Structure 1
């Protein structure tokens, strides 16, 4: 991902927020047969305060990726959407796409079966937590034998990235008036409405405004 200093995202707290809110990621590996990609849910490692993530792949994706043997690229995609030049303040303008994204690279550590079980349990608890009647991994109708058979079909991993490239392109190069127009368009009820992107823009620009006041 081409980086631009104006859009660079380096704050670990913000990156952790991006990952926790967008756990469905793309895993990319370079193999002897070319590039391969898979899609899985991950979680931040709750025993760490950095960008370490944990997750699993279903067999035989571990072999296809060479998991644990070569570098893995994890693509995290946050809110994104089309921005029309018609929302700008006149003059020669071009359309663009606003987005928040991070690339985490490193060689993952393969988890033991017991560690993998704990990660699977946390994944289920995380996503079932908001359900009216959560179906947790170790609770009936599941039995221990069923859960352990389930685990044997997966390979757990932990990735502490050795390289992070993250970008938050949210019209930071536009005037406050244009930013307000874009947010208003994205917040409407037309077919191009995009409430998550509008909220992310509002949050980012409020933080920028606060920083400017503090440094004034």
Structure 2
């Protein structure tokens, strides 16, 4: 992912938030047979405060990816959407796409069966918890034999990234009045944008304005 200083994200807390709020991720490996991509739910490691993530793949995806033997790229895609040139001030303009993305890469550690079970249990609990009648992994009619048989069909992993690339391209290079208009248009509803995108834009621009205030001469008391 090509970086641009205007759009680079370096705040670990913000990257963790994006990872936590967008757990459906893409896993990419370069193999002797070419590139391989898979799609799985991935979570932050609850025992760490960095960008370490945990997840699993179903067999035989572990072998296809060479999991634990070669570098794995994990891509988290945050809110994104089409930005119309009609939302800018009059004049020549072209459309663009605003987005947030975090890329993590490194060689993952393979989890033990018991560690994998804990991650699988946490994954189920994470997504069932919002439902009116949650069905947790160890809940009847599932029994231990059934759950452990499911675990044997998966391979869990923990990735502590050695390379991190994060980007939020949210019109930070545009005048404030243009940003306000884009947010207004997104709030009105767009067929080509995640409804969360306007909130991400507000967050990014509030952070940028706060940073400018902190660095401005004479702002120190």
Is TM-score (shorter-chain normalized) higher than 0.5? yes
In structure 2, do the counterparts of structure 1 residues 155 and 165 end up closer, same or farther at CA, with 3 Å as the change threshold?
same
Distance change in 2, residues 1:120/1:193 (3 Å) = closer
Q: CA deviation at 1:177?
A: 0.2
In structure 1, stretches of 5+ residues that fail to align are: none
Deviations 1:56-89 (A, max 9, x none): 0000000000000000001110000111111111
How far, CA to CA, are the matches of 1:4 and 1:62 in structure 2? 34
Q: Paired residue for 1:129?
A: 129
TM-score w.r.t. the length of structure 2 is: 0.95
Count of paired positions? 216
After TM superposition, list the pairs within 5 Å mapping 1:66-85 onto structure 2. 66-85=66-85
Task: Give the CA deviation at 1:207.
Answer: 1.9
Confirm whether residue 140 of structure 1 aligns to residue 140 of structure 2. Answer: yes
Matched, 1:177 2:165: no
Residues 1:156 and 2:160 aligned together: no
CA distance in 1, matches of 2:23, 2:187: 24
User: Which residue in the other structure is 2:33 paired with?
Assistant: 33
Q: Is the 8 A contact 1:106 1:159 kept in 2?
A: yes
Q: CA deviation at 1:194?
A: 4.1
Q: Is the 8 Å Cα contact of residues 82 and 193 (structure 2) preserved in structure 1?
A: no
Residues 126, 147 of structure 1: alpha-carbon distance in 2 compared, 3 angstrom cutoff: same
Q: How far is 1:211 from its partner? A: 2.4
1:104 — aligned with what?
Answer: 104
Q: Is the alpha carbon distance of 1:197 and 1:190 closer, same or farther for their aligned partners in structure 2, counting shifts above 3 Å?
A: closer
CA root-mean-square deviation: 1.1
Q: Please report how far the alpha carbon of residue 102 of structure 1 lies from its aligned counterpart in structure 2 after TM superposition.
A: 1.1
Aligned with 2:202: secondary structure?
A: helix
Deviations 1:138-180 (A, max 9, x none): 1111100000000000000000000001100000000000000
Matched residue, 2:87: 87
Q: TM-score when scaled to structure 1? A: 0.97
Contact 2:7 2:168 (C-alpha < 8 Å) held by counterparts: yes
Q: Residue 197 of structure 1 corresponds to which residue in structure 2?
A: 197
- Asked if structure 2 preserves the Cα contact closer than 8 Å seen for 1:187 and 1:193, the reply is no
State the distance in 2 between where 1:181 and 1:130 align: 34
Whole-Å Cα distance in 1 between the matches of residues 214 and 142 of structure 2?
55
Moved more, 125-134 or 103-112: 125-134
Whether 1:43 aligns to 2:40 is no
Query: What's the CA shift string for 1:175-196, capped at 9, x where partnerless?
Result: 0000000001111035346421
Aligned residue for 1:4?
A: 4
Structure 2 unaligned runs (5+)? 217-221
